[in-house]
Chains A and B, each alone.
Chain A
């Protein structure tokens, strides 16, 4: 158990809908990262937050947004969902947002868009 929790574990929804994925980082970690794992794209970095502020953006679509709250949990919002958004979404956390810090991953949220 990494100490990172994600809810829900599974999500099934329809095209055009909006969903929210939630992540609680390990106790004491200030940085949160979101990654998407799909069969065609592999594991890709989406976005990073540090202590409530957006730090870096990767291959995140404009239909997607995220935020980190004062209690350090984070939410990833996916809207106008398309079939191609079906994927496993991971949240990770680290103490600090540097390249040598270990990132601890949650179990993921599996999203299926029908």
Chain B
């Protein structure tokens, strides 16, 4: 079975400071991992994904995430927060080798960026 735990429901940072959003996953099989972002009253946008190549994955808008199998983690980071980063972020897992594409979502982390 697949599941995701986002360790913080809310994270607040000042503009220009680093961002860390934490995610742990559980998967019976080799996982694909994703981070999606949801801005207010908008749909979900893919930030980045890990399938099986490099463990450090770079995404859009300066975000990156590192897959750590030994820690079953896939934390999202950004060196310097921008006001436009304020949104809800979802860590997502699926079964990489599956012929089904079902996604399992974490409960989300609300990121607030202070000026």
| Interfacial residues, chain A to chain B (CB-CB below 8 A) | 2, 4, 31, 33, 35, 42-45, 48, 55-56, 58, 90, 92, 94, 96-108
Chain B 58-115 residues near chain A, CB threshold 8 A: 90, 94-108
Is the Cβ of A48 less than 8 Å from the Cβ of B32? no
- Given the known interface contacts A99-B32, A107-B42, A107-B43, the answer about A45 and B102 at a Cβ–Cβ threshold of 8 Å is yes
CB contacts between A and B, total, < 8 Å: 74
Which A residues lie within 8 Å of B105 (CB)?
35, 42-44
A101 adjacent to B101 (CB under 8 Å): yes
B6 to chain A, nearest CB (A): 10
Q: Are B43 and A97 in contact (CB under 8 A)?
A: no
Question: Please, how many residues of chain B have a CB less than 8 angstroms from a CB on the other chain?
Answer: 28
Q: Which residues of B contact A48 (CB under 8 A)?
A: 100-102
Which residues of B are in contact with A by a Cβ distance under 8 Å?
31-32, 34, 36, 42-46, 49, 51-52, 90, 94-108
Residues of B within 8 A of A31 (CB): 101
Residues A58 and B101 in contact, CB atoms below 8 Å apart = no
Residues of A close to B106: CB separation below 8 A: 42
Residues of A within 8 A of B104 (CB): 45
- A42 touching B43 by the CB < 8 A rule? no
From A4, A104, A107, contact of B46 by CB (8 A): A104
Contacts of B94 in A (CB 8 A): 99-100
Q: Which of B32, B49, B102, B108 contacts A56 (CB 8 A)?
A: B102
Q: Are A99 and B101 in contact (CB under 8 A)?
A: yes
9 tightest A-B CB contacts, nearest first: A43-B105, A99-B94, A105-B44, A99-B98, A107-B43, A99-B95, A100-B51, A100-B32, A105-B43
Q: Are B43 and A90 in contact (CB under 8 A)?
A: yes
